[in-house]
Amino acid sequence: MKYIITENEANQRIDKFLKRMLKDAPVSFIYKMFRQKDVKVNGKKAAIDYITKEGDEINIYIKPQLLEEFHKEALLRPVKADFEIIYEDENILVINKPKGLLVHGDQGEKRITLQNMVLNYLKEKREWDPNSLDGFIPSPAHRLDRNTTGIVIFGKNLPTLQELLELFRTRDQIEKKYTLLVRGNITNDGQISYSLLKDPDKKMVKVVPESKGGKSALTLYKRIKNYAFGYSLVEAELMTGRTHQLRVHFAAIGHPIVGDSKYGDFKVNEVFENMYGLKNQFLHASYFKFKEIPGKLAYLSGKEFRAPLPEKEQKILDSIARIN
């Protein structure tokens, strides 16, 4: 089989390219192909760590029945694409994620997920083909909890997704800010720097010193507004990206997020559920900015995205603002 590397497939290890192409092939089979010289680039034996370049001619010597067996269509579960698009171009898709929707599937839900909605949307637009031999699947560059709303960014091609993942890993050329309602009146802007440790068995995160395995975590915040009966609207910026970071950090300083069923004040949560129907944390990814970024996505430098609060959360703020 012959394949010409396009711009979208360049700049990746050739073994990873083959793993995407031959999704169901055992890893041992992929390695065996290289040992037996069954993979060639531009007519020459390919090293397993070769980095693909645009225009490379890849020749793969594989029996047709094995190719058919190992390259199966990506599993796409039909679902309505029910999401708000904040921005879209040929490389990225910026979405305002609604509450109650997983970004990725888990054991309990594999069909109604944000990624599955995006795949159906891009297939309908003919921007993604689940049968493509390159094996690439458009994916989010980061995650939000099921019940956290707001901005999620998807990469629509491999080079874009690679750059986005690196930006989110280093974090120095992006800004992510959240809007949250917390218990108690916050009087000053500040920062929270408690290190955190995830307990996979309890599916909880706790504050633990770095000397005992905690990972450093830093949150900056500023007060937007104080409300009657002791509540504050806060804007928080993540300087690190730990699991449940905002939820644990604000609980740790005595200002748990309203509605948070894991780390919050259960009596406060009960009041807001009874009065406003709020059943989950009042936490919204409201702002994202690309700073000065190089490469394929340089045109996005300085670009800002804002996601308005969900209707329910905005109505809560309007209501408590009227209480004197």
Instruction: Answer for the pair 92, 164: CB distance below 8 angstroms, yes or no.
Output: yes
Sign of CA dihedral 167, 143, 254, 207: negative
The length of the chain in residues reads: 324
Question: Among 15, 145, 260, 265, which one carries the catalytic annotation?
Answer: 145
The values of phi and psi at residue 123, to 5°, are -65, -45
Q: Write the CB contacts of 249 (distance below 8 Å, at least 6 apart in sequence).
A: 192, 194, 196, 217, 219
Between CA 159 and CA 175 the distance in angstroms is 21
Task: Check if 89 is active-site.
Answer: no
Cα distance between residue 169 and residue 74, in whole Å: 27
Q: Are 55 and 5 in contact (CB under 8 A)?
A: yes
- The single residue listed with the structure tokens 């720097």 is 193
User: Which residues carry out catalysis?
Assistant: 145
